[in-house]
Amino acid sequence: MIELSQVCKSYGGVMAVDGVDLSVPSGQILGFLGPNGAGKTTTMRMITGYMPPTSGTIMVDGQDMEEHSLEIREKIGYLPEMAPVYQDMNVLDYLEYVATLRKLPTSSRKSRIKEVISRCGLSSVLHKDIGQLSKGFRQRVGLAQAIIHDPAYLFLDEPTAGLDPNQIAEIRTLIKELGREKTVILSTHILSEVQATCDRIVIINAGKVVADNTPEKLQAGLEGRTVLMVTMKSGPSDATAKVKSLSSVEDVRAIPGHSGEVRLRIDSAPGQDIREAIFNLAVRENWVLLEMIPETQSLEEVFHKLTAA
Ligand SMILES: Nc1ncnc2c1ncn2[C@@H]1O[C@H](COP(=O)(O)OP(=O)(O)O)[C@@H](O)[C@H]1O
Ligand SMILES: [Mg+2]
């Protein structure tokens, strides 16, 4: 379990992270989403123990980072945004070097390296220099070094940035697999990334958490608002006003449709399911309902609304 409480980081007066409260139970794949400059990398560096917060506390499994950073770092794997690449080292030598740095016991070192190689699909490039590898393979090497000590927590900073679609799909699959046994926190500025991979999405903007929910709930709209598209046969002219007068309805707009049909875009009040009220109204008024389709806001729209200044 990771717990951040009022975590702030300022770089010479600029608040990069501004009072973040966040609690991540074990076993989640959490997507940390935000535009460039939102504070994702800064937050990750603090949780992984590479940089202290200006103020606030970070607890991992009940231990305070300030006092137990070495112990905590043993439980954490980290793929930084700009993975330090030892261009001239071959993959196997590099993983052996990382295993030594991580103080893996010599008795199990070889077998663990083998395991990670197979896990990350690196057997075909073991003797190649890292500098010669494609970006996709370099990311796999980055993942391999992040998991070599079998950490409970895995932090991935923009793990698919700069990859082509095939490589993205491969890395996503690998992340999902790792997520079955580890708590994974991955940052990205790309929505489809978290939608495809994560159980939970935390959106950060200008150093502040602006949303925290499941992809489904975020998509269903802000504060549970739903949008319903309703089509009726041969339009009653007062339909818009009558729908608007329902207490569970917040807004109604008439949408141009086929002639002889009335199409309404109806916004519910927060947390209201308006389908039944619409149905009952149609019955009372003798309207012929042709269609009633709930519309979900795309995560793109939600993201835009939440992060628009
Ligand atoms: N080392 C640094 N020195 C000064 N400002 C920084 C430094 N690192 C990041 N920043 C600033 O802090 C803010 C957050 O940056 P960052 O955490 O890298 O965001 P993200 O990873 O979401 O793109 C940005 O305004 C950035 O310019
Ligand atoms: Mg970043």
Strand order in the sheet with 14-24: 14-24, 2-11, 55-60, 63-64
Find the angle CA(56)-CA(218)-CA(5) to the nearest 5 degrees. 10
The model's pTM: 0.79
Residue 287: how many other CB atoms lie within 10 Å = 21
Q: Read off φ and ψ for residue 14, nearest 5 degrees.
A: -90, 120
What proportions of the chain, in percent to the nearest 5, are helix, strand and coil? Answer: 40, 30, 30
Q: What is the pLDDT of residues 251-289, one digit of tens each?
A: 999 887 777 788 999 988 877 788 999 999 999 999 999
In CATH terms, the superfamily for domain 222-307 is ACT domain (3.30.70.260)
Query: Spelled out in words, what is the top-level CATH class assigned to the domain 2-219?
Result: alpha beta
What residue ranges line ligand 1, CB within 6 angstroms?
Answer: 11, 14, 16, 34, 36-42
Ligand nearest to the CA of 32: 1
Mean pLDDT of the chain: 89
Where do the domains of the chain lie?
A: 2-219, 222-307
What distance in angstroms lies between residue 158's CA and the mean position of ligand 2's atoms? 7
Range with the lowest mean pLDDT among 27-31, 134-138, 171-175, 298-302? 298-302
| Cα 162 to ligand 1 centre (Å) | 19
Instruction: Give the tens place of pLDDT for each residue, 59-118.
Output: 999 999 999 999 999 999 999 987 667 888 999 999 999 999 999 999 999 999 999 999
Instruction: Provide the residues around ligand 2 (an ion) whose CB is within 5 A.
Output: 40-41, 81
Among 10, 11, 157, say which to mutate for ligand 1: greatest number of ligand atoms within 8 Å of CB.
Answer: 11
